[in-house]
Amino acid sequence: MPSTTEPKLISGNANRPLAQAVAKRMSMHRGSSVGLVDARVERFNDQEVFVEIYENVRGEDMFIIQPTSNPANDNLMELLIISDTLRRSSASRVTAVIPYFGYARQDRRTKARTPISAKLVANLIAQSGIERVLTMDLHAAQIQGFFDIPVDNLYASPIFALDVKHHFKDCLDEVMVISPDVGGVARARELAKRINAPLAIVDKRREKAGEVAEMTVIGNVEGKRCIIIDDICDTAGTLCKAAEVLMENGAQEVHSYITHGVMSGPAVERVSKSVMKSLVITDSIQPTDPVKNAPNIRIVPTAPMFAQAILNIWGGTSVSSLFDHDTLEPLYEGMYS
């Protein structure tokens, strides 16, 4: 049954521009002003997080927009403390909108005596009073099962499909989708199906974490406009090396579509100097000035999709409808027309 209250948004400090963009889109959809709840999320001198909300939220359906990106621990604590503040202020329901779920790469024990930190973070989120999570492109789909509360996992591939069809409309028959590793084949196949393109794989072998020893291309990429699809770009080492290997195997050009642009350390410099013609990321993580100013990095917005997903959750309607191209295209009308 739809809620009788209005959806209310509150943001931590992780990505306020995205939160403001979501509020703006929700205002457009509803025909009435939707703003961010007036609050302060600050640090004491010893860096403890302090939250104070200046508006009445009693009985309200609250949505906290807060990716747990770098600094992951600070942003995670902000999320938990905002949730605790809302629960103690008698909010009727608290939903965490986490565009980028930090610690997702620690989703299993890869060797003895290591943690499964993604499960620990899921427990912390549920215990803080959050009743539902809305996120995008979890590093591993099974992370949804780490939560004992409902999790809606949105996908960037429908947005990427719209972008590819717009920017490659004159040469779609030359496009080939590339998975940068065997584990990402399902994600790459999803985009390939949406744009009706063939699929190839770059198989990589690591000597140790962060270093790739060898790469092999599985498939014929000669003369193709290759599009690498992945969920996270951290230091961009693997991505740039994959682009080089594809060019060495006869690719005409290489582009990359990555959901979460972590872009740490030398990432921007590597991408700027690489053979990649373009890197497309979403704004799930607030881009830094170097990322925004890089000539071959482009950012696509997620606010239209998150705004509609929040409205669907609030209204008790389907979120999975946003996986469909026909549902999503009107939300991005004007951008890809």
Residue 173 known to bind ligand: no
Task: Supply the range of the domain harboring residue 80.
Answer: 7-155+303-321
Q: In the β-sheet with 151-154, what is the strand arrangement from edge to edge?
A: 7-11, 61-65, 93-98, 132-136, 151-154
Q: How many CB atoms lie within 10 A of CB 229?
A: 26
Structural contact between residues 189 and 227, judged by C-beta atoms closer than 8 angstroms: no
Residue-level pLDDT at 66? 98
Q: Residue 207's pLDDT band (boundaries 50, 70, 90)?
A: low
Residue-level pLDDT at 230? 96
Residue 120 lies in a domain: yes
The total number of structural domains in the chain stands at 2
Residue-level pLDDT at 2? 43
**Does residue 72 share a domain with residue 183?**
no
What residue ranges in 2-118 does DSSP mark as E strands? 7-11, 39-43, 49-53, 61-65, 93-98
**Does residue 291 share a domain with residue 164?**
yes
Q: What is the mean pLDDT of residues 104-121?
A: 94
pTM equals 0.94
**Does residue 314 share a domain with residue 240?**
no
Residue-level pLDDT at 249? 95
Residue 326 lies in a domain: no
Residue 96: give its domain's CATH number: 3.40.50.2020
Share of the chain above pLDDT 70, in %: 96
Which DSSP helix (H) or strand (E) runs through 67?
none
**Does residue 176 share a domain with residue 288?**
yes
Residue 25 known to bind ligand: no
Q: Residue 3's pLDDT band (boundaries 50, 70, 90)?
A: very low
pLDDT mean across residues, the chain: 93
Active site residue 119: no
Residue-level pLDDT at 211? 60
Structural contact between residues 73 and 20, judged by C-beta atoms closer than 8 angstroms: no
Residue-level pLDDT at 334? 75
**Does residue 311 share a domain with residue 289?**
no
Q: What is the DSSP string of 98-163?
A: ESS-TTTT--S-SSTT---HHHHHHHHHHHTT--EEEEES-SSGGGGGG-SS-EEEE-SHHHHHHH
Residue 118 lies in a domain: yes
Residue-level pLDDT at 51? 97
Residue 212, beta-bridge partner list: 206
Q: In the β-sheet with 211-218, what is the strand arrangement from edge to edge?
A: 211-218, 199-208, 175-179, 225-233, 253-261, 278-282, 297-300
Q: Residue 291's pLDDT band (boundaries 50, 70, 90)?
A: very high
**Does residue 50 share a domain with residue 189?**
no
**Does residue 127 share a domain with residue 11?**
yes
Residue 232 lies in a domain: yes
**Does residue 223 share a domain with residue 257?**
yes
**Does residue 181 share a domain with residue 130?**
no
pLDDT tens-digit profile of 41-91?
Answer: 999 999 999 999 999 999 999 999 999 999 999 999 999 999 999 999 999
Q: What is the mean pLDDT of residues 180-198?
A: 93
Residue 105 known to bind ligand: yes
Residue 221 lies in a domain: yes
Rg (CA), the chain: 20
Which residue did the predictor score with more confidence, 110 or 58?
Answer: 58
**Does residue 115 share a domain with residue 172?**
no
Q: Residue 272's pLDDT band (boundaries 50, 70, 90)?
A: very high
Residue 207 known to bind ligand: no
Q: What is the DSSP string of 214-269?
A: EEEEES--TT-EEEEEEEEESS-HHHHHHHHHHHHTT-SEEEEEEEEE---TTHHH
Residue 332 lies in a domain: no
Query: Is residue 330's pLDDT more than 50?
Result: yes
**Does residue 218 share a domain with residue 286?**
yes
Task: Kindly name the residue from 8, 204, 224, 241 that is annotated as catalytic.
Answer: 204
Query: Is residue 208's pLDDT more than 70?
Result: no
- DSSP letter at 302 equals -
